[in-house]
Amino acid sequence: MVKRFIQITLFLILLFIIFLTYLSTYGVSTDKFNKLISEKISERDKYLEIDLNEIKIFLNINNFNFELKTNNPKVFFKNKEIKIKSISTDLPLKNLILQKMNLEEVKILTHKNKIQNLIEVIRAYKNNPQLFILNKIIKDGFIEIESKINFNEDGSIKNNYLVDGNIENLKIELLNNDIIENVNLSFLIRENNYLIYNLSSFYKTVKIKSNQIKIINNGNSYNFEGDISNQKSKLNLSKLPDIFNKNIRNIFKEDLTIYSNNKFNFSLNKKIKFSDINIQSKITLEELKYSNDIFKQFFPGYKKDIRFENNSITIDYNNGDYQINGKSKININGDIDDANYSLKKIKNDFFYNCNLELINSAVNFKILNYTKNKDDKSSLELKGKYSTSKKIDLEKIRFIHDKNLIDIDNIKINSNKKIKSIDNIKVSVFNNNDKLSKLNIKKDKKNYLIKSKIFDGTKLVDEILFSKEESNFLNFFDNLNSTLLIKIDTAYLGKEDYLTSLNTKINIINNQIFDLNLSSKFSNNEELKVSIKTNQNKEKITTVFTNYAKPLVKKYKFIKGFDGGALDFYSVSKDKKINSNLKLYDFKLNEVPALTKLLTLASLQGIADLLTGEGIRFNEFEMKFNKDKGLMTIEEIYSLGPSISVLMDGYVQKDGLISLRGTLVPATTINKAIGSIPLLGDILVGKKVGEGVFGVSFKVKGYPKDLKTSVNPIKTLTPRFITRTLEKLKKTN
């Protein structure tokens, strides 16, 4: 009997175990609770409708509660379907027996749904400004979630909910109408804690990804912390927001190929205002191209642009202030060197430092006639400050090449890119003429003292004499009002010609030379005097005088073999109109292109002079001309010599067009010889000096490298020529 009882008991236990196993594994199906569940849900929200399939009941062996689960129910919110994969809930045994449906926990697993539809459902239960904004900016995308929601006895949702999910093909239109598309991510949501991970997206053709972004709700604000990076992408600058495009596009003319890795944290309050922003970035830029014609002045190899290649940049950003450090290869027309730079922003000021190691690039300082050749090691340092008021302080410009040094301290530049002041300039270089140039410019209050033992001013003089620009070089300054005291022991004007004891005082008012007084001597002890005075009528009177004109005249390359001669120059200028008179005395020439053929053709004595190497001799040369708005009008050029005398006029336009016409008296000596023959000379030549039958009319027109000369070799002298010759002879006598 006992044995039989044990067998029955064991059988029942086994049967019970099988039942429990089956119930916990496969469950049982019923539709008895469908109506009850639907009614409970409808009581909470009249817009929410659920049509349930059969409910399966599973036994949870751990707590002997039952789990109710239904698959693929049809859920509608405001007639928009929410596709659900399954809904499940735990139900105590007593509630099941009593058919009492107090939901304590609900698990929901969805299919892919339109994000907009799901946001509407969430807003029905927990609406806030963030959800309102999301509803406005999200234009497309799908979401799939798995959630666990606990309820209070009154049916409200507890704070310990958990939502895990994925978003695919999200499309967002920002408030500035920019589009972020193809957003894919996974997320995990708890009360006041949000985690976004495995994010990828496209923004402005740039592929973006993030390992994770944490968001913490602190009540009044949200704290964000995470990382974001982009793969190697080509950034189309034209598609950047205006705030960036306006600044970057003005500097870099082409799109950028960029790779970056960034870590960040910031706070966002409920009024959508950012604070406590911190960003650490590592950026690789494949290539930057920057164009500026100013580089032609310093880099002989520069043609179109400078390329910054293999840029490695780090950025540390903290609430508007930041530190940028970078290094790159600088490519100037195939010549590649190293560059290091840093930029630091503190409040409204930007502090920058740039160091260039220039080995493969040639460097040219034209005004100093100095060139650093390729393969010579040199360095260039730029250091300074820039403010949001657009004021620039260049604290240091230092160029070092072997024993050559160019050092400039504290250049202040205003918002109009005009120089306000320079504290100090030191120059010590061996230039292209293998001459040492040493110069020291120092500011003393508002004035400047310029001192040098030896300085090669060859190129500086060339710039003053031959520059095609009409603008005053002082226009680089911001309303300069200073006195310049210049003391140079030896100043070279060319490879061989130099001045000694050059002393100058220059008064500058409103960027204009008001007074200048220069006194110096050439190597042969002949004096050079230059004076500029401004009178009460605001006329600027310039005079230049020397008995040794050769060093100045030979600067004009088209004049060959100039020798001897004194120079006397007088000019009056007012309101950019200039009237000038240039005189040269007792000199000779070997060659003047375009006029040389004319002169030698017409002058027997001139041919003889050239054959003997003596050159064409002149007793006097005078040129009266005026300049106005780029046009130089030559009122008269008159030159008198023993072999040739010339009278001409014309003009030279700003674009280089030259037009001259005049009269030439060849073989003056022969004319004099004929004139000395009794009776015959009186008939053919005349009794007065300057009269004669031998004359040449000519015209010269064209551009400097393509001048066309036409000659009419037989013409009686014009009365004007005779008159000018007599005037000269009267002054001589």
DSSP secondary structure, 525-593, as one string: S-EEEEEEEE-TT--EEEEEEES--HHHHTTSTT-BS-EEEEEEEEEEEETTEEEEEEEEEEEEESB-T
Rounded-to-10 torsion of CA 126, 127, 131, 135:
110
**Cα 713 to the chain's mean position, in Å?**
60
Q: What is the pLDDT of residue 585?
A: 86
- The residue range of the domain holding 723 is 587-732
Report the DSSP beta bridge partners of residue 179.
173
Contact 662, 649 (CB under 8 A): yes
**Token output for 595:** 């006029």
Query: What is the amino acid identity at position 71?
Result: N
Residue 34 lies in a domain: yes
Does residue 724 lie in a domain region? Answer: yes
Per-residue pLDDT tens over the stretch 245-269: 444 444 455 567 788 899 999 998 8
In a domain? residue 207:
no
In total, how many domains does the chain have?
2
- The answer to the question of residue 632 being in a domain is yes
- Does 49 map to a domain? yes
Q: Do the domain assignments include residue 404?
A: no
Alpha carbon separation from 20 to 59, 69, 176, 212, 408 (Å, rounded): 7, 17, 61, 43, 92
Q: Which tens digits make up the pLDDT trace of 551-601?
A: 887 776 656 667 778 889 898 988 888 898 988 888 777 655 545 444 443
What residue type is assigned to position 704 of the chain? P
- Residue 74 domain-assigned? yes
What does the alpha-carbon distance between residue 495 and residue 604 come to, in Å, rounded to a whole number?
Answer: 35
Bridge partner list, 625: 580, 634
Instruction: Give the span between the Cα atoms of 682 and 559, in whole angstroms.
Output: 38
Residue 631 in domain: yes
Residue with the bigger pLDDT between 441 and 68: it is: 441
326-366 pLDDT per residue, tens: 999 988 888 889 999 898 888 888 898 989 899 998 888 88
Q: Where are the beta strands (DSSP E) in 11-161?
A: 28-30, 48-51, 55-60, 65-71, 74-77, 80-91, 105-110, 113-114, 138-150
* pLDDT (tens digit per residue) in 291-311: 767 777 788 878 888 888 888
What pLDDT is recorded for position 594? 42
How far is residue 272's CA from residue 129's CA, in Å, rounded to a whole number?
10
Tell me if 434 sits within 8 A of 416, measured CB to CB.
no
